[in-house]
């Protein structure tokens, strides 16, 4: 795949290129458009801060896919109306610092989220917080998708970044501050279990999401 940072690809190319830094997210959802592209870590300043200076590659790339759709939902006036949604998937890798051996390692990212698009912050605050499947974002006629991508990547950062198997034990772990013997191997370093989740094709379940998602009737 040829990289074109900030350019759309796929189905959206037939309907006009999407500028991920500035587009009408409401129209995108109503038209049920789809787009895809590539964004580099150098375009994401907060993510770049997480990448160690000694990393082999500080400017890795993430691929993204986005799809808009609407669902009929009950409105405040008691009638049903179309509610816009956005589905976003981001895949790629970035170098982080292992907290066991303090060496850089490449962390895979597979973010996949669905967003209910509302008009105002007040609407967003009224949305129930117990819905784990859908997040809420305030839409705009000049929406910045790259900011949303960066936010999802930051939320996907591991609680304790680390190798699956460290190549070596850092000297600070091999001996204590007073020269006492430390651990003999990486296996002796206490670990905090981090739950991982298998990711599926980001849009494989889009049709079922439209049918069975929030606001659907059974």
Pair of tokens at residue 85? 């949604």
How confident is the model over 43-94, as pLDDT tens digits?
999 999 999 999 999 999 999 999 999 999 887 677 888 999 999 999 999 9
Strand pairing report for 104-118 and 135-138:
parallel
Per-residue confidence (pLDDT) for residue 23, from 0 to 100: 97
Sequence-separated contacts (24+) of 9-17 with Cβ below 8 Å? 9/35, 9/36, 9/37, 10/34, 10/35, 10/36, 10/65, 11/35, 12/36
User: pLDDT band for position 214 (50/70/90)?
Assistant: low
pLDDT at 157: 97
The model's pTM is: 0.71
**Least confident segment among 6-20, 65-79, 102-116, 180-194:** 180-194
Mean pLDDT of the region 89-114: 96
Predicted confidence (pLDDT) per residue in 147-178, tens digit? 999 999 999 999 999 999 998 765 655 554 44
131-153: b (≥16 Cβ within 10 Å) or e = eeebbbbebeeebebbebbbbbb
- Output the six-digit token pair for 8: 């759309």
Q: Which tokens is 196 given?
A: 């991982």
Average pLDDT over residues 97-110: 96
pLDDT for residue 182: 46
Q: What is the distance between the terminal CA atoms of the chain, rounded to a whole angstrom? A: 41
Average pLDDT over residues 87-114: 96
As a whole-number percent, the residues of the chain with pLDDT over 90 amount to 58
In this structure, the number of other CB atoms found within 10 A of the CB of residue 89 comes to 22
């Amino acid at each position: 795949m040829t990289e074109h940072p900030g350019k759309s690809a796929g189905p959206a190319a037939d309907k006009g290129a999407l500028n991920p830094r500035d587009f009408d997210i409401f129209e995108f959802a109503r038209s049920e458009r789809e787009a895809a592209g590539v964004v580099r870590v150098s375009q994401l300043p907060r993510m770049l801060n997480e990448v160690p200076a000694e990393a082999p590659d500080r400017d890795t790339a993430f691929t993204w896919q986005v799809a808009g759709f609407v669902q009929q939902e009950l409105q405040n006036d008691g009638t049903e109306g179309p509610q816009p949604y956005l589905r976003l998937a981001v895949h790629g890798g970035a170098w982080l610092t292992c907290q066991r051996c303090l060496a850089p390692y490449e962390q895979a990212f597979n973010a996949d989220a669905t967003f209910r698009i509302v008009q105002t912050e007040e609407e967003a605050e009224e949305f129930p917080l117990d819905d784990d499947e859908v997040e809420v974002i305030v839409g705009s006629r000049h929406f910045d998708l790259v900011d949303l991508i960066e936010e999802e990547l930051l939320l996907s950062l591991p609680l304790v970044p680390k190798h699956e198997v460290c190549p070596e034990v850092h000297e600070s772990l091999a001996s204590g501050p007073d020269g006492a013997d430390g651990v003999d191997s990486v296996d002796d370093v206490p670990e905090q279990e981090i739950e991982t989740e298998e990711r599926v094709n980001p849009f494989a379940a889009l049709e079922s999401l439209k049918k069975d998602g929030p606001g659907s009737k059974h």
